[in-house]
Chain A
Amino acid sequence: MSDETFAAGFMDDYFAECDEHLAAIRRLLLELGGAAASAGPAPRAAVDELFRSFHSLKGISGMVGLREAEALAHHLESFLRPLRDGGRALTDEGLDALVAGVDALEHVIASRRDQRAAPPIDAVVARLERASPTAAPVEAPAASAPPAPQWRITFAPSPALLARGVNVDTVRARLRDAGVILDAAPQIHGGSIAFEFAFAGALDEPTIALWREDGLRVEAAPEPLAADAASTLPAAEMATPVGPSHVVRVDLTRLDDLMRMIGELVITRARLDASLGRVEGHVPAAEWRAVQENTQVMERQLRDLREGVMRVRLVPVGEILRRVPFVVRDLTRDSGTRVRLELRGQDTEIDKFLIERMMDPVLHLVRNAVSHALETVDERVAAGKPPEGTLTLAASSIGDTVVLEIADDGRGIDEAAVVARARAMGLEVPDPPLDRGRLLELICAPGFSTRTDTDRASGRGVGMAVVKTTVEDLNGRMSLETTAGEGTRFVIELPLTLAITDALIAQVGDRTFAVPQAVVREVIELDPAALRRLERHEVAPFRGGTLPVLRLGEVFSVTPRPGRALHAFVVGAGADAIAVAVDRIVGQREIVVRSLDDALIQVPGVAGATDLGDGRAVLILDLPALARHRAASLRRSMEAAS
């Protein structure tokens, strides 16, 4: 068996572990960034932890044979060493190199995950070496600094010592204050545990005496401890005597399986309900009450179970927002803008799958805000605004919805420019002022940009069009507020999770459909006699205005049942609002969403399928997509006719 097939088995674990380390690294870099800004020494604990993360990444990358990642992690680790051992301050340039190195490391790991060739790392490595604090010619390299005396220090915890407040953590802190812990390892001696530290530092006699009093065995190291001691894993990780961690790492697919099983349970319960409905008349009333009570309890418990599993999938939104400061830092470096970032609601939790999909769109909005919306310091001062622009990223949850807000206090969207650009692209646009929904639609039109594509922030693969489709794919909604000279705010509403959702069940002819409730603004009754035809459109009077009507039966070539009234779902707002008419709405249900993955059955307007309890697949409609598709084909047929 080759190393590679051997490694293949570990890869999932490897990527999961990388994710954890990279998340920690990003958090730590922020901390270091704060210190670099204030020109203070790098915070020791953060540097230590960062060092450990790079060290672990180096180790595991070597294990799976990802040489580029191993090399990068190694260089990052080496870069940190002078900071860790010598207490050097981290320069701005150094931080940039560090951030670039981490960026490259992420890319290398991601490219292996996507089975692409790893990007070249030489430039980044060279940059790290250049920026290394040891590279300064006046400073002697740390390695050749006069070696501090080295000691072997052993600590055996005991209840008596503990009572005096001496435990392994205080010992470690004490050693850190006095010097450098080179290595640490727990040792088992005759059934009891002891911690052995390799330590370098100048110790005077009183200190040694004091330590011995506190139960430490202090011996001068017989020979210099392991030559490479400085690069071995620092103490805390190895020797931390805390109990087993209470965190379990679970593969997302296992949770998906669990969710699917719960979904099946929900369906079975629906079937049970249907069967019970049929026997109701045959059971004595008293017995029936008991049966009903039990099914109701079961329904509640099932809901709790579903919630419970859903919670497990949730991760704090902060995980995606954590990257934002780097993006902002990167963009503002030589742009003449200054940006204050305000993060709110980072603890808001959202489904892991959703958050991963939202990462790029959110970053895109951030880049747009920083490079297009926020003015330079001079411009802001001239406009009487505070010199520093504010970019706010806020997350909050309302019921089963998570709301993400990306807001800036910049120049606002230039409506006239948007309209001019849209007209140049051949889009039909009314004169300003535009409805905000329409404005958003324009800037999200494929290929739309008011700037040239050579702009620094573009060319990253996502445009506003992708932002919009991603949000819609996730059953979310996006809206826009913007005021010239005051700022712009994007609000994205997403369902907490996709797997199970509340839906309205509707019928057209002999077909049954499910419509996710989140997209329905309103359910209305239409009088067929009141509908009017305007050219190719059918419109209904609605609140003093009119509302275009889309008959589902027509779209899906189903003959509707003749009836006195039609029911309709109102979707979209403002100029986008449309009524989708069906024969009748038969109820509201909790449905389990199954996606239609195969290309053969991916059609516009159908988001998936569900089982209402009879084993039959019921299509879940994506009404906004249906409305868009309909509008697009109407436009095409009008163009063809003209």
Chain B
Amino acid sequence: MTTVAGAETFILFTVAGTTYAVRSRDVAHVEMVEQVTAVPNAPAFVDGVVFSRGQVVPALNLRARFGFERAAYDLATRLVVVQTGGRSVGLVVDGAREFASFDPSLIRPPSAALAGLSGRYLEGIANVADRLILVIDLPQLLLFEDPVLPDHA
């Protein structure tokens, strides 16, 4: 935990028109998405695996995870590789071009009205310079609660 009072840095990214944030200390790096290898029988929101700096990481599609329509990768698509709890996971997002510094005390719990599919993966909402930023609860996002494998025959 950062004990320094005041601002923390966050990496901002967009998924389906909404801006999300993760703490930059949880982000290993951000890269272009290329050559994702599909993994048969993996959960539906996993696009597959990629080699990222010599390591094989799962590519978790946030559009799919949040219940949106998948979109084809384009030049703006990015892989945000996060490291938390000893795991490395790549998040496929529509774009990631900014970072922001703000005081975590600005993060307010999400209102009940906002409880969509992404609601359970949110730590809260921050209002920074009149922009609404949804701060991701990473452990919750990466939780794989249903390890029962599909009966594929």
Contact = CB atoms under 8 A, between A and B. Distances in A.
B152 A616 contact: no
Contact of B37 (A557, A558, A619, A637): A619
B108 to A, nearest CB: 30
B116 interface: no
Contacts of B40: 555-558, 603, 605-606
Contacts, number: 86
Given A616-B35, A617-B37, A596 B51 contact: no
B111 interface: no
Interface string A472-511: 0000000000000000000000000000000000000001
A329 interface: no
A379 to B, nearest CB: 47
Interface residues of A, number: 33
A445 interface: no
A564 B64 CA distance: 39
Contact of B39 (A597, A606, A614, A616): A606
Nearest to B143: A599
Nearest to B142: A600
Given A599-B147, A600-B42, A616 B51 contact: yes
Interface string B13-39: 000000000000000000000110111
A601 B54 contact: no
Contacts of B152: 555, 557, 633
A619 B39 contact: yes
Interface string B38-63: 11111100101111001111101000
A615 B34 CA distance: 9
Nearest to A634: B153
Contact of A600 (B34, B38, B50, B60): B60
B135 interface: no
Interface on chain A toward B: helix, strand, loop, or mixed SS?
mixed
B89 A598 contact: yes
B5 interface: no
A633 B153 CA distance: 7
A633 to B, nearest CB: 5
Nearest to B36: A617
Contacts of B57: 598
Interface string A588-606: 0000001111111101111
A601 B43 CA distance: 8
A639 to B, nearest CB: 12
A72 interface: no
Given A596-B56, A600-B58, A633-B153, A611 B144 contact: no
A601 B153 contact: no
A88 interface: no
Interface string B81-112: 00000011100000000000000000000000
Given A608-B56, A615-B51, A616-B35, A637 B151 contact: yes
A553 to B, nearest CB: 10
A603 B149 contact: yes
Given A618-B37, A634-B153, A609 B56 contact: yes
Interface in B51-79: 51, 54-58, 60
Contacts of B34: 615
Nearest to B147: A599
Interface string A96-120: 0000000000000000000000000
A605 B40 CA distance: 9
A513 to B, nearest CB: 10
A515 B44 CA distance: 25
B56 A617 contact: yes
A342 interface: no
A344 interface: no
A606 B51 CA distance: 16
Interface string A605-642: 11011010011111100000000001001101100000
A260 interface: yes
A387 to B, nearest CB: 52
A32 to B, nearest CB: 43
Interface in A68-90: none
A618 B21 CA distance: 31
A264 B54 contact: yes
Nearest to A260: B54
Nearest to A637: B153
Contacts of B89: 598, 600
Contact of A630 (B38, B56, B144, B153): B153
B36 to A, nearest CB: 8
A433 to B, nearest CB: 32
Given A609-B37, A611-B51, A604 B149 contact: yes
B88 A598 contact: yes
11 contacts: A596-B49, A597-B56, A597-B87, A598-B57, A599-B144, A600-B60, A600-B144, A601-B48, A601-B49, A603-B42, A605-B40
Interface of A: 260, 264, 511, 555-558, 594-601, 603-606, 608-609, 611, 614-619, 630, 633-634, 636-637
Interface of B: 34-35, 37-43, 46, 48-51, 54-58, 60, 87-89, 142, 144, 147, 149, 151-153
Given A601-B56, A615-B35, A617-B37, 12 more contacts: A597-B87, A598-B87, A601-B42, A601-B48, A604-B149, A611-B51, A616-B35, A616-B37, A617-B48, A617-B49, A617-B56, A619-B37
